[in-house]
Amino acid sequence: MRIAIFSDIHGNMPALTAVLDDIRQQRVDTVYCLGDLVGYAPFPNEVTARIREERIPTIMGNYDDGAGFDRDECGCAYREPEEQRRGDRSLAWTKAHVTPENKAFLRELHKEIRLEADGQRARAEHSGACAIVVGPNALHLGVRLQRRNDNADERRESESSKSRRKHGSRY
């Protein structure tokens, strides 16, 4: 089974179009998006509409959460005051421009997606850590997939979740 996984489109409609065109050419069986549909680039509604039209299972990224729930911050880990200032401006612009219908969609995105491919089970989540691959044909970008065996505790937390909690980040 061939799986395409992408994330962090951040309102960049030309990038999303290019990714989806490439995915079609690769003839994958299943497509997943690991979040951050909105933020930074100027097409949050167009990106959200395209994901909805394509019915791509999507995980809620930190920026989707920030815009969808009209939060005061996006959950980003800015290191410099200038980055923080630009991030705050970006989030304010995004919240002001995303339609109520699309905000409702963002609020309903999955927290995680569990999948099975070629006899392997995995859990995908929005994460800052890259790791993984499930099977030889998986594509990944900005994603953490965790292999799970049949005896695994279904509630086991990922290392990235523990790290985020330790450092006080929501995502």
Residue written as token pair 């939060």? 71
| C-alpha angle 138-141-146 in degrees, rounded to nearest 5 | 60
pLDDT-derived band of residue 9, with 50, 70 and 90 as boundaries? very high
Class of domain 3-166: alpha beta
pLDDT at 143: 38
How many Å apart are CA 162 and CA 52, to the nearest integer?
31
pLDDT at 137: 44
Tens digit of each residue's pLDDT (9 = 90 or more) over 104-160: 999 999 999 998 888 888 888 887 543 333 444 444 433 333 333 333 333 334 443
Tens digit of each residue's pLDDT (9 = 90 or more) over 50-78: 999 999 999 999 999 999 999 999 888 88
- Cβ neighbours of 58 (radius 10 Å): 27
pLDDT at 84: 92
Model pTM? 0.74
Give me the residue spans of the domains in the chain: 3-166
Angle between helices 81-97 and 44-54 (to 10 degrees): 60
